[in-house]
Amino acid sequence: MNSLPRSIFCFLMALTVAKAVAAGAPQSRPNILFIAVDDLRPEFGAYGAGYIRSPNLDRIAKAGITFNRAYCQQAVCSPTRSSLLTGTRPDTTKVWDLVTHFRTALPNVVTLGQHFKNNGYFVQGMGKIYHGNFDDAPSWSVPWQTPRAAAYGLAENLTLNQRQFAGEPDDEVTKKKQRGAKQGKQKGAGTAPGSRGPAFEGADVPDATFQDGKVADLAVTTLRNLGQKKEPFFLAVGFVKPHLPFVAPKKYWDLYDPAQIRLAPNKFRAKDAPDYAVQAGGEMRAYHGIPAGSIPDDLARQLKHGYYASISYMDAQLGKVLDELDRLDLRKNTIVILWGDHGWKLGEHDAWCKHTNTENDTNGALLLSVPGMKNAGVRTDALVEFVDIYPTLADLAGLPLPPHLEGTSFRPLLDEPARAWKSAAFSQYPRNSDGRQLMGYSMRTERYRLTVWVSRDDHTKIDAIELYDHQIDPQENFNVAKVAANGELVERLMAQWRRGWQGAKPSGEKKL
């Protein structure tokens, strides 16, 4: 048999190799360990809060990059998760509450997991990835699963708990939709004040008593199986703590001295802000023993103690998964990303939980570790959004970017954490105020937060404007939108706000 001339043969071989590299041959692509944490605000060791015991969260940060200014698109579970996992924003998913599935508005959208599956990955999910009992079968190679576990460790607390559904209490908009559902009695159970068990518990029980312990054990077993597969894997692991109730084994409570827990310094609403901007936190009041109105300081300290203990409990479960990744020698080819689905208030503005456009609620925890990255252990102040996570992971894995995405890959920040990046990040939250259906659209620039409340039927009808100057007011205590001297500033920021996220893409432009 005649052979090709050597020069032609070499050229064809080189071309084949180049195509394989360009396509990201499956065997050379990195694995993805995708970790979702419920209600985790950026307050732990990696963010400078050394008083919180978080060695495994910090371990990811030391091997990767910590995003100081990462923002969710709506600060409540289902909308933020639907946005992140579809790579689109809430006004595209049409998910602004806890009772709408994103497939209603986007029946054919390719989710993050689905995109990896379509490109040769084995994709498996466990724990809380999508909200509550929602799932999305096309996202997985095998069915998603969550181990069943007790809500409390003490029998008396299980008796007190009357919850009959997996979701969480939400604002009044969602409650009305729940009451209007065909099975409203079942779907609304557990939302009335005091209808659930206690808001915190520290029983002397094993870690695997609760869901996160069981999820960690399942993830460890799954990693052992995935390590034997030829194709790369995308493993999504969802932890529910520190979500309410703040339930963690006693040994994690014992890590903290209650006398050393400091209360929120701004136990008051922002001056000159609309009354509906921040609400007290109906989700918290659904738990037994939580009074209406302002929470007393002694109870607030117990609640914060529980939140911190829940972080440490979750962190220990995370450590089991990371340890197994290392033991199997998979870490060297595995991207690890961890995100808290939004921020959380711990008494700031005399309020608790999420459900607002404030910095406390929209600023979320985000850690990313990529094997071989040259800037491991750094932090970046670049403005990034959770909607950017989908394109970033696809980019890092060498996958094509679907055309429907509404975010930007922040891969360049891994090499240049201080480079000029987005000029703004965008969030939103709906409100029903005195019969008016409003949407608050919030824009966070490097220095300012501008929130514009408009009619949901007509976005040109402005109900209120909030403006906070983070250079002098990082806690967002004073709305200065109506200050006469800020007139020109408000006009400039409004012009930028109207350009929206499309006008805020990385450009190196001067940031307000």
Q: pLDDT (tens digit, 0 to 9) for every residue of the chain, 512 residues total?
A: 344 444 443 444 333 333 333 344 555 899 999 999 999 999 999 999 999 999 999 999 999 999 999 999 999 999 999 999 999 999 999 999 999 999 999 999 999 999 999 999 999 999 999 998 789 999 999 999 999 999 999 999 999 886 533 344 444 344 444 444 433 333 333 467 777 899 999 999 999 999 999 999 999 999 999 988 999 999 999 999 999 999 999 999 999 999 999 999 999 999 999 999 998 888 999 999 999 999 999 999 999 999 999 999 999 999 999 999 999 999 999 999 999 999 999 999 999 999 999 999 999 999 999 999 999 999 999 999 999 999 999 999 999 999 999 999 999 999 999 999 999 999 999 999 999 999 999 999 999 999 999 999 999 999 999 999 999 999 999 999 999 999 999 999 999 999 999 999 997 544 44
Q: What are phi and psi of 211, to 5 degrees?
A: -60, -45
For residues 506 and 382, what is the distance between their CA atoms, to the nearest angstrom?
Answer: 10
Q: Which of 101, 115, 131, 305 is catalytic?
A: 131
Which residues, at least 6 apart from 453, have a Cβ–Cβ distance to it below 8 Å? 274, 276, 277, 431, 438, 439, 440, 441, 462, 463, 464, 465, 466
- 3-state SS assignment for residue 247: strand
What is the pairing mode between strands 363-364 and 352-353?
A: unpaired
CA dist list (Å): 467 to 124, 261, 272, 498: 43, 31, 10, 15
For residues 512 and 501, what is the distance between their CA atoms, to the nearest angstrom?
Answer: 15
For residues 368 and 138, what is the distance between their CA atoms, to the nearest angstrom?
Answer: 25
Which residues, at least 6 apart from 122, have a Cβ–Cβ distance to it below 8 Å? 141, 226, 229, 231, 232, 233, 234
CB 443 within 8 A of CB 426: yes
Tell me the CB-side half-sphere exposure of residue 396, using CA atoms within 13 A: 30
Q: Which of 77, 115, 243, 342 is catalytic?
A: 77
27-417: CATH topology:
Alkaline Phosphatase, subunit A (3.40.720)
Amino acid (one-letter) located at 301? R
Per the annotation, the verdict on 10 as an active-site residue is no
Per the annotation, the verdict on 72 as an active-site residue is no
For residues 35 and 445, what is the distance between their CA atoms, to the nearest angstrom?
Answer: 27
Tokens 């049409």 sit on residue = 94
